[in-house]
Amino acid sequence: MDEYFADKLTEIQDTEDTAYLLENNEIFYDVGYKVMQNQENANLLRCHRIKYNGKIKLIYFTREYTSLEDYIASSDMDTILNAIHSLLEALIQIENLGFLNMACIDNRLSHIYVESGTNNVKIIYLPVNITGVHKNKNEFDNEIKAQLVQKIERIGMMDHPKMRQVIDALEDGTLKLHDISTRIQAEKPVMHRNTKNTSADPNIGQKKIVDMPDMNQISIQSIDGQFHFVVCENEFLIGKSRERVQGVITGNNAVSRVHCKIVRQNGSYFVVDMGSSNGTYVNGKRIQPNVPEPISDRSQLRIANAEFIVRG
């Protein structure tokens, strides 16, 4: 970030929170600031603007969080995988907002934060507008991936098979953040339910729901932990319209007002796309509108660009 904002803004070190002082108030992007304040994205740290000796000071309350750099250094492998996955999902969500200049994200691992207990990632976005300062998506993604590889190498976990696969994905220039996120999700530990003889059941992982401890409900949880829907009705609508659905997805313009629905028939569960603009996906496959698609425990559900997992 330093090469983009040299002599334009200064990070203030004498505070428990994170703050930046603009050397020229004219670079403050008022429109971008107002749009940010109206966003419901849980991954963007709220920016607070004050005047300090006549200059604009941007403050982000970070004292209650741990930097991703420190978090990785002090965590075990599975926790690190979860944190990296949460970071990639957060960046994907922010990129999908569309109006942000990626150069204005402080993408240093020391300035990306993790909320203890939830693994939620918090991102600093600077509402500034400087002529000629722009960063394309590939450049931004490559900077993030390179930092993660360097950090993993420093903590000495790169020889573990799971972590080695993650590093290989991060170093593969053809893979997008979504592709890497999907691979990491496959490597993450799964919380197994209490069932009997599941290893011998040939139907596990198939489309039909089997051997669920509570056939009266399932839960659908977003990978980033932001949304959690418990489905106990025969029909459960999901979308962004608070007036029309039970499961509301906020802060994501890619999601339609009534995007899809979960239906229960004879103890089995299905997802139905309601003719959404950006589609509904089950285990990576886009489903046809108005055609029920079976889902079961551990099915991966994508609603537009929002990733969910089904739990029985």
**Alpha-carbon Rg of the chain, whole angstroms?**
21
Per-residue pLDDT tens digits for 51-77: 888 999 999 999 889 999 999 999 888
Q: In sequence order, which residues have a C-beta less than 8 Å from that of residue 237 and are 6 or more positions away?
A: 244, 245, 246, 247, 258, 260, 261, 274
Q: Could you give the dihedral angle defined by the CA atoms of residues 145, 147, 149 and 151, in that order, rounded to the nearest 10 degrees?
A: -150
Q: How many CA atoms lie within 13 A of 76 on its CB side?
A: 3
What domains are defined for the chain?
A: 70-107+135-187 (no CATH), 212-311 (2.60.200.20)
- Which tokens in the block code for residue 226? 């932001």
Q: What is the pLDDT of residue 247?
A: 94
Q: What is the pLDDT of residue 147?
A: 94
Torsion over CA: 270, 254, 90, 231 (sign): negative
Q: What is the pLDDT of residue 133?
A: 66
Q: What is the pLDDT of residue 185?
A: 76
pTM across the whole model: 0.60
d(CA 206, CA 259): 24
Q: In sequence order, which residues have a C-beta less than 8 Å from that of residue 161 and are 6 or more positions away?
A: none
Residue 299 identity (one-letter amino acid): S
Q: Could you tell me which residues are beta bridge partners of residue 21?
A: 10, 57
Distances (CA, A) of 93 to 39, 43, 285, 306: 12, 8, 20, 8
- ∠ Cα 133 139 144 (to 5°): 110
Q: What is the pLDDT of residue 209?
A: 35
Q: What is the pLDDT of residue 40?
A: 62
209: number of Cβ within 10 Å: 21
Helix (H, G, I), strand (E, B) or coil at 51: strand
Q: What is the mean pLDDT of each run of 10 residues along the chain (312 residues)?
A: 70 83 92 74 85 92 92 90 90 76 89 86 90 76 92 85 88 86 68 35 37 63 85 91 92 94 90 94 90 89 92 79
Pair 89, 41: CB distance under 8 Å: no
Q: What is the pLDDT of residue 276?
A: 93
Tokens 């990978």: give the residue.
Answer: 223
- Which tokens in the block code for residue 96? 């999908």
d(CA 279, CA 254): 9
Per-residue pLDDT tens digits for 145-162: 999 999 999 988 777 888
Residue 75 identity (one-letter amino acid): S
By CB neighbour count within 10 A (0-12 exposed, 13-18 middle, 19+ buried), where does 8 fall? Answer: middle
Backbone angles phi, psi at 205, to 5 degrees: 85, -5
CA-wise closest residue to 56 among 28, 37, 32, 15: 28
Q: What is the pLDDT of residue 200?
A: 35
Pairing outcome for strands 247-248 and 235-239: parallel
Q: How many CA atoms lie within 13 A of 285 on its CB side?
A: 9
By CB neighbour count within 10 A (0-12 exposed, 13-18 middle, 19+ buried), where does 38 fall? Answer: exposed
